[in-house]
């Protein structure tokens, strides 16, 4: 894992508010039934839906990013995981902060069981699950985007919680998993990241993080 010492404090400060927001959203209990809207987002559903059960893991590297091993990053990830796991009690949760050349990522991944409330909701509507998850955490302006070869649904928007207004966040879901990336933007140029660019990175990251169960 990368020690990421040069950018650690800057990354960790940005990640604190974001991770706490995700944790607070899920600590209340049920994971996906958090936000009711009259205009639900319907992210693009790929023709290549995964047929087998999948799980999300914490890869050492993904999409050009390395898992951070700073003490603060690890502490923050453990704290956020506790909140996320409270909203996914029957499944598995992974959380990590990743360092890249121009920016960092906050990653949260959830694997659900099919007979749980979360599993039923995911199977019923991956797009609806993303809407509730991202919207409930303070992500606005959600747009439907291509989920890539693993199928399911994907949406991205701008994060407006925890003092991190403007950060891009993306989420994806299929019948057994839901993952999210928040782009922390250490480099000033990273603030100009478009939703389409973020979606491409998310699809690439997902390819390393999602595996057959």
For residue range 108-158, list pLDDT tens digits in order: 999 998 888 888 888 889 999 898 888 888 889 999 999 999 999 999 998
Average pLDDT, the chain: 78
pLDDT at position 116: 85
Write the pLDDT tens digit of every residue in 44-60. Answer: 444 444 457 899 999 99
pLDDT at 17 exceeding the cut of 70: no
Structure-derived torsion over alpha carbons of residues 51, 57, 63, 67, reported in degrees to the nearest 10:
180
Q: Can you give the length of the chain in residues?
A: 213
pLDDT at 45: 46
**Given pLDDT bands bounded at 50, 70 and 90, which one contains residue 99?**
very high
Cα–Cα distance, 173 to 147 (Å, whole number): 9
Predicted pLDDT of residue 101: 86
Q: What is the pLDDT of residue 86?
A: 85
> Do the Cβ atoms of 20 and 76 come closer than 8 Å?
no
CB 133 within 8 A of CB 112: no
Q: What is the mean pLDDT of residues 180-203?
A: 82
Q: Is the pLDDT of residue 103 over 70?
A: yes
Q: How far apart are CA 85 and CA 114, in angstroms?
A: 16
For the chain, give the percent of residues with pLDDT over 70. Answer: 70
* pLDDT-above-90 percentage for the chain: 40
Residues 146, 44: contact at Cβ < 8 Å? yes
Contacts of 201 (CB under 8 A, 6+ apart): 63, 170, 181, 183
Q: What is the pLDDT of residues 73-89, one digit of tens each?
A: 999 899 888 888 888 88
Under 8 Å between Cβ of 59 and 209 = yes
Q: Tell me how far apart the alpha carbons of residues 210 and 213 are, in angstroms, rounded to a whole number.
A: 9
What was the pLDDT predicted at 180? 94
The structural domains of the chain, with segments of one domain joined by +, span: 8-212
User: What's the pLDDT at 39?
Assistant: 43
> Residue 49's closest CA among 127, 109, 107?
127
């Amino acid at each position: 894992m990368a020690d990421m010492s040069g950018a650690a404090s800057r990354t960790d400060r940005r990640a604190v508010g974001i991770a706490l927001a995700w944790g607070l959203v899920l600590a209340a209990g049920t994971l996906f039934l958090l936000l009711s809207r009259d205009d639900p987002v319907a992210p693009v559903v790929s023709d290549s839906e995964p047929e087998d059960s999948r799980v999300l893991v914490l890869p050492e590297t993904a999409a050009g990013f390395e898992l951070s091993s700073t003490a603060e990053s690890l502490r923050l990830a453990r704290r956020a995981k506790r909140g996320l796991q409270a909203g996914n009690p029957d499944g598995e949760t992974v959380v990590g902060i990743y360092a890249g050349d121009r920016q960092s990522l906050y990653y949260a991944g959830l694997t659900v069981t099919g007979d749980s409330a979360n599993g039923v909701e995911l199977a019923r509507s991956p797009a609806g699950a993303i809407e509730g998850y991202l919207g409930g955490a303070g992500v606005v302006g959600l747009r439907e985007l291509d989920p890539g070869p693993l199928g399911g649904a994907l949406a991205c928007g701008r994060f407006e919680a925890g003092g991190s207004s403007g950060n891009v966040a993306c989420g994806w879901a299929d019948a057994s998993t839901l993952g999210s990336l928040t782009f922390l933007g250490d480099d000033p140029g990273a603030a100009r990241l478009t939703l389409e660019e973020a979606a491409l990175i998310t699809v690439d990251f997902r390819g390393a993080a999602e595996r057959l169960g």
